[in-house]
Every structure is written in structure tokens, then in C-alpha cells.
Amino acid sequence: MFWEIAFTTLGGLGLFLFGIQIMASGMQKAAGDRFRRILEVLTNKPVIGVLTGIIVTILVQSSSTASVMVVGFANAGLMNLSQAISVIIGANVGTTVTAQLVSFEIWVIALPAIGIGALLNFFGVRRFQRYLGQTVLGLGLLFLGMITMSEGMSPLRDLDAFYDILMQFSRYPILGILAGAVFTALIQSSSAATGVIIALTTQDLIPFDSAVPLILGTNIGTSITAILAGIGANVAARRAAAAHVVFNVVGVILVLIFLGPFTSVIVETAEAVPRQVANTHTAFNVFNTLVFLVFLKYFNRLICYIIPGEDSKVDFGPKYLDARIMKTPAVAIGGAKQELLRMAGIAREMLDESMQVFLNKDLKKIKHIDQMEELIDGLEKEINVYLSELSQHSMSQQQTKMVGNLMSAANDLERIGDHAENIMQLGEMKTEERLPFTNVAQEEIIEFSTKIASMLNRAVIAFEHVDKDMAAEVATEDDEIDAQEKILRNKHIDRINTKLCHPAAGVIYLDLLSNLERVADHAKNIAELVLEE
């Protein structure tokens, strides 16, 4: 009997989780991939941030996913702490929608929903019809999973030991909270954990008083995903993850203090125990949201106290491009050049950090490099659009030439960023696959990359100060770099042929040389722009 119960319950849980995943995927595609943009833009006011969190969580059908997205945005510098907290609060409310759905006795629609959803998904003419079918199919699988779990657990009614354990949760709520938290952390879904609890109440295996502590525990357990997402991230991301934990833990403590009155109110909201359980989940999160919105300012301070440190982040978007000064081309060109020099500084930092990933196996820098790559791509577009609009104004021949040079330099810097990202990826591959590099190869890489970093630095300095002598040195040095790259390439091929070097490591080494040599080519291009002025 044990194995029958275990397999049926696990199978039902699998269907439930798969149904949530399919439904979430369909809803996201039907709505368009706009919820990430929503998170970035519609969170300036706390109340709007809460509503945004609710909507996004309903779309992705997971507060854990929404919280991880928030942690990621905080890590990328797209959200401050107040914005992150408001969205996380809303996500906790949004996740209760699934519990409300499964608490109604509408499981009879499970198979029809699967059939209708499958037909729309496979035979829908338009994409929206297919995505809608996927959503309906997921909903049907979700209900089928609930039915299977409920039926699988029904034999437990005959086990006195199981019943005695569950009754302990009503006598000792802390045990129930811990059990709910651990179970939710293991399956990484508060919706699924709540679904299991509702399935237990459907079979009269657990009374309402025992279900309440379990529901409270699921809210704590769902924080584990945000904690995992915050590991190794910057201060802002760790604060967002901590806010999720503190929000739920403090909320559970507040409800425990008023547990008697709280359960008395919930009992009056519905007659069926499954409905009471779903209402408990919703009431807890709504109550918690109202409390934290009132004390949001103090909550921010508490999180900053718990996670101290300076919030270092990448500032996205241009700083020196001002459309209002385009009528004065000389000033506008100066602003564009400042933005370009800022872009050059980021490119140099990218190259330096990418080489640290490659040489020192410092994988923690990968997230920061990805952010800088995104910023460089954005700046290149912004600078070119700005300069294109500026070129429509009346300018001297020299100013027109300068605008063209700035656009060319922006393109070269963007390409340098691409090569730096390639180097980072090679370093990540080298580390993850534990590819051995000989001491000779390591020394050659250090010497070659140092020369190219110096060449890029001097090219940028020459561009900033219009130093033609330095620019000429850089342009001449590119021939030396090309010759050295060929020598290093031939040496390394000899090492591969004589089996002194691992073949897979040899491929990575040659790719690294190629990317570094291309960086030198773009540095030369920047230097030649100075010589042309």
C-alpha cells in the first residue's frame, strides 16, 4: 500500500507542477514577453509596484519566478530596493490565485480542459490560439494532478499514525510551519505545496486547524528560491532576496500572535475546508501586504541594516547625451565624445575582467561582464542615433568629420565589448571543463593580453587628447601584434602536435588569440581616426 500511495501522490504532484509550467508558458506567450519590461517601468510607486507584482506572478504562475526576476533586475541595477520590495510583496499575493482555483470543486473540467487545450494547441491557426490552448491544457493538467493526488492520499485515512502526526500541527503550530516551509523549499513551489494541503483537506485527512500552520510555512519555504538567486550577487540583489525572507517570516510571526482571531475570521469566509485553506493563503498575504506598505520606509532601513554595504551597480543609459543642446553642434559633439569615453572605459574594464575570468577562474565577474556588455550595446545605439539626429543640423566640415569619427569609434568599442564577452565565455568553458594549460601557454597569454590592454588604453588616451604621436605608435604596434599572434599560434600548434597540450585546451587558446588580435585591430582603428583629424 505504501508504494501505491507514494507513486500515485508523486505522479499527481508531477502532473500538478507540469500543469503550472505549461499554463504559465502559455499565458506568458499569449500576453507577449512584456512582463520583464513591466517590472522595469511600472514600479516607481509602491502601490503600482505591488499591482505589478500581482500581475506578473499571475502570468508566470510562480512567486518564486517573479522574485528571482526581481533579484536579477536588482543585480543589474534596473531596480532600487523600494521597487524590488513592492514587487515581491505583490508576487506573494499573486501566487494565491492558483490556490483559489484548485480549492473550488471544479475538477470535473480537468479532462475536457485537456482535450480542448490540446486541440487548440495543435490545430490553432493563429499563434494566440495555440498559446491559449497551451494555457487551457496546463489548467486541465493542474486539475488532473489535484485529482490524482487526492485519490492517492485517500488510503491514509486508515492510518492512525499519520493522523496523529497531522494533529500535532494544530497543537504545536511551530511544527506545522517548519513542515510546510521544508516541503515548499524542497519542491520550490508554494502553489504546489498549497495544492497538496488542499488535496489533504479534500480527503478529510487534515482539519483546518492543522492546515493553517502548514500554509503559513509554505510562505516561508517559497523564499528559498530568491535566496539561491541572491548568492554571489551584488548588495542590491542580496537585499531583495532578504526582503522576501523577512516579509514572510515577520508576517508569519504576526499571524501567530493573533492566530485565534485570525482562524476564527477565516472559518466564517467559507463552509468547505479546502476553500478555507485557500482563503487563509490569500488573507495572510493581503494582510501582510497592507502592513508592510504602511511601514515600507522602515522596512527598507531594516533590510539595509541586515545587509550592509555600498550598492555598486552599472548605471544603464547615456549620461552626457542631451537633445536640448543639438542646436549648438560644438557642445553636442563634446557631450557625445564624453559618452564615447565613458563607453571606452567600460570596454577596457570588460577586457580586464574577462581576462581575470580566463586566467584566475574568477567566475563571479561573469554577471558584471554581462551587464557591461548590455550597457555597451545600448550606448552604441544611443550614440549613433544621437549623432545621426545631430547631423541633420547645420555644421562645419570639420564638425561633420568629427561626427563620423565618433560613430566609427562607437562601433569599434562595441565590437571590443563583443570580443571581451567571447573571452569571458572561453574562460568560463576552460574553468567548467577543467582544461589544463601549460605554464608556457599561460605566460604567453599574460604577455600578449597585457600588450593589447596597453595598446587599447593608449588608443583611448590618444583619442581623448587628440595625441597624434601616441596614435601613430598604436597604429604601428598593430603590425607587431599581428606578427606575434602568428608566432604564438604556430608555437601552440606545435605543442598540440607533440601532445604537450590538451587538444580541447588548444582550441580555446587559439580562439583567445584570435579575439585578442581583433581587439588590437579595433584599437588601431580608433588610433587611425585621430591621425585622420
Report the CATH number that the domain containing residue 495 is assigned in CATH: 1.20.58.220
- In the block, which residue shows the cell 500554509? 215
Residues 405 and 450 in one domain: yes
Is residue 321, in this structure, part of any structural domain at all?
no
Residues 349 and 485 in one domain: yes
Residues 363 and 477 in one domain: yes
Is residue 89, in this structure, part of any structural domain at all?
yes
Boundary (domain end) residue, out of 306, 338, 360: 306
Between 188-192, 452-456, 498-502, the lowest mean confidence (pLDDT) is in: 188-192
Q: What angle do CA 168, 173, 176 make, to 5 degrees?
A: 70
pLDDT per residue over 470-485, tens digit each?
Answer: 999 999 998 899 999 9
pLDDT at 419: 95
Residue 210 sits in which domain range? 2-306
For residues 91 and 339, the model is more confident at: 339
**Helix and strand tally (H, E) in the chain?**
23, 0
For residues 273 and 455, the model is more confident at: 455
pLDDT at 407: 93
8 A C-beta contact, residue 133 and residue 112: no
Is residue 315, in this structure, part of any structural domain at all?
no
Q: What are phi and psi of 204, to 5 degrees?
A: 60, 30
CA 273 to chain centre: 37
Amino acid of residue 444: E
pLDDT of 89 > 90? The answer is no
Q: Which of the residue ranges 77-81, 202-206, 412-416 has the most confident prediction, judged by mean pLDDT?
A: 412-416
pLDDT at 526: 94
Count of domains in the chain?
2
Q: What is the mean pLDDT of residues 127-146?
A: 80
pLDDT of 336 > 70? The answer is yes
Rounded alpha-carbon distances, angstroms, from residue 177 to 77, 184, 346, 522: 34, 11, 48, 60
Boundary (domain end) residue, out of 255, 275, 306: 306
Mean model confidence pLDDT for the chain? 80
Between 131-135, 141-145, 511-515, the lowest mean confidence (pLDDT) is in: 141-145
Between 23-37, 105-119, 157-171, 398-412, the lowest mean confidence (pLDDT) is in: 23-37
Q: What is the mean pLDDT of residues 515-524?
A: 94
For residues 448 and 138, the model is more confident at: 448
Residues 367 and 274 in one domain: no
Residues 418 and 300 in one domain: no
Residues 269 and 340 in one domain: no
Is residue 21, in this structure, part of any structural domain at all?
yes
Band of residue 417 on the pLDDT scale cut at 50, 70, 90: very high
Residues 345 and 250 in one domain: no
Q: What is the mean pLDDT of residues 179-187?
A: 78
pLDDT of 453 > 50? The answer is yes
Structure-derived torsion over alpha carbons of residues 60, 64, 68, 71, reported in degrees to the nearest 10: 120
Share of the chain above pLDDT 90, in %: 21
Is residue 320, in this structure, part of any structural domain at all?
no
Band of residue 33 on the pLDDT scale cut at 50, 70, 90: very low
Band of residue 499 on the pLDDT scale cut at 50, 70, 90: confident
pLDDT per residue over 344-357, tens digit each?
Answer: 999 999 999 999 99
For residues 185 and 117, the model is more confident at: 117
pLDDT per residue over 210-268, tens digit each?
Answer: 888 888 888 888 777 667 656 666 677 788 778 888 888 988 998 888 888 888 888 88
Rounded to whole angstroms, the Cα distance separating 530 from 532 reads 5
For the whole model, what pTM was predicted? 0.52
Rounded to whole angstroms, the Cα distance separating 326 from 313 reads 30
pLDDT of 519 > 90? The answer is yes
pLDDT at 514: 93
Between 21-35, 194-208, 493-507, the lowest mean confidence (pLDDT) is in: 21-35
Residues 282 and 390 in one domain: no
Give the H or E element holding residue 463: helix 439-465
pLDDT at 95: 73
For residues 172 and 404, the model is more confident at: 404
pLDDT at 299: 86
pLDDT of 161 > 80? The answer is no
Rounded to whole angstroms, the Cα distance separating 219 from 242 reads 14
Share of the chain above pLDDT 70, in %: 80
pLDDT of 428 > 50? The answer is yes
pLDDT of 158 > 70? The answer is no
Q: What is the mean pLDDT of residues 8-27?
A: 73
Residues 283 and 413 in one domain: no
Residues 355 and 290 in one domain: no
pLDDT at 19: 75
Amino acid of residue 402: M
pLDDT at 88: 79
pLDDT at 195: 77
Among 292, 418, 350, 311, residue whose Cα is nearest residue 78: 311
Is residue 322, in this structure, part of any structural domain at all?
no
Is residue 248, in this structure, part of any structural domain at all?
yes
CA 182 to chain centre: 24
Residues 28 and 80 in one domain: yes
Residues 374 and 501 in one domain: yes
Is residue 514, in this structure, part of any structural domain at all?
yes
8 A C-beta contact, residue 468 and residue 530: yes
